[in-house]
Amino acid sequence: MKRAPFAALLLQLTAGVPSLALPADTLSAPGTRNEIPKASSGAGLASTIAGRVTVLDGRTLWFPQHGAMVQLADIDSCELPQWSYDPKRHGERAIPKPVPCGPLAKAWLKRAVGAKRISCRVTSSSDAGTLIGVCAAGGGDLALEMLRVGWARVKGPYPSRPDYVAWQRRAMSARYGIWETYVLDMDEWRRKAMDRTLSRQPISDFNLLAERESEISPPFDDARKRPRRTGR
């Protein structure tokens, strides 16, 4: 297994290199540029949805021809405004180097989707009406791919595929993706983050991390050391 090219992908994201504008980017979701499309109700939709998609974040796809939003079953990933932190020291910085884990997760899902036709077997829907399904691109399970490269984690104790946990453990052991960083549990982030705009500053998540209630199986021995809180 080759190590995920973290540094190269981060450089492309921050520089806005056109090579990241994969075909999945070219489909326009309804509304303004930063607006998340409204999910349609699952009522009346077939158990399988297929077609080209727009990638909204590291676990969510938009099927414009169906007007349907589908989240990948059994996994979770950083929200787009969420930050994690590189635990390696960079000079005399008092605060660890921030890592845009949300945009990186989205970029990896776009990479997995590419120009492929996506097929999702719908398994359920959320209270908000978002469909939840097992989705494949070219025969490959997208959720498994996100776990393999470390930009998603297993959600819930009983994933639909038992090998999900095994792939997550491999990614954790290899320090891929979020497992190379200090990251706040996504559910805890959603409960506590007041500002969820894309202009959210890294210091906000550093403060949340300092007051965290839970850990996501920290990959570093010192991950439980509480960083000193700083001003916003």
Tens digit of each residue's pLDDT (9 = 90 or more) over 152-211:
999 988 888 889 999 999 999 899 999 999 999 999 999 999 999 999 999 999 899 888
Phi and psi based region of residue 16 (left: phi greater than 0; alpha: psi -120 to 50; beta: remaining):
left
Both structure tokens of 207: 């403060």
pTM: 0.75
For residue 30, the 8-state DSSP code is S
Nearest residue to 114 via CA among 48, 47, 61, 39? 61
d(CA 118, CA 21): 18
d(CA 163, CA 144): 8
pLDDT tens per residue across all 232 residues of the chain: 444 444 444 444 434 333 333 334 434 444 433 343 444 444 444 589 999 999 999 999 999 999 999 999 999 999 999 999 988 766 666 678 899 999 999 999 999 999 899 999 999 888 777 899 999 998 899 999 999 999 999 998 888 888 999 999 999 989 999 999 999 999 999 999 999 999 999 999 989 988 888 888 665 555 445 445 444 3
Cα-based distances in Å from 136 to 24, 118, 143 = 14, 6, 8
Q: E strands within 67-224?
A: 68-72, 75-76, 84-86, 97-99, 118-125, 131-137, 140-141, 153-154
Residue 152 near residue 77 (C-beta atoms within 8 A): yes
Cα-based distances in Å from 9 to 15, 91, 99, 140, 144 = 10, 22, 11, 22, 20
Contacts of 163 (CB under 8 A, 6+ apart): 144
Backbone angles phi, psi at 49, to 5 degrees: -120, 135
Hey, what domains does the chain have and what are their CATH numbers? 22-27+41-210 (2.40.50.90)
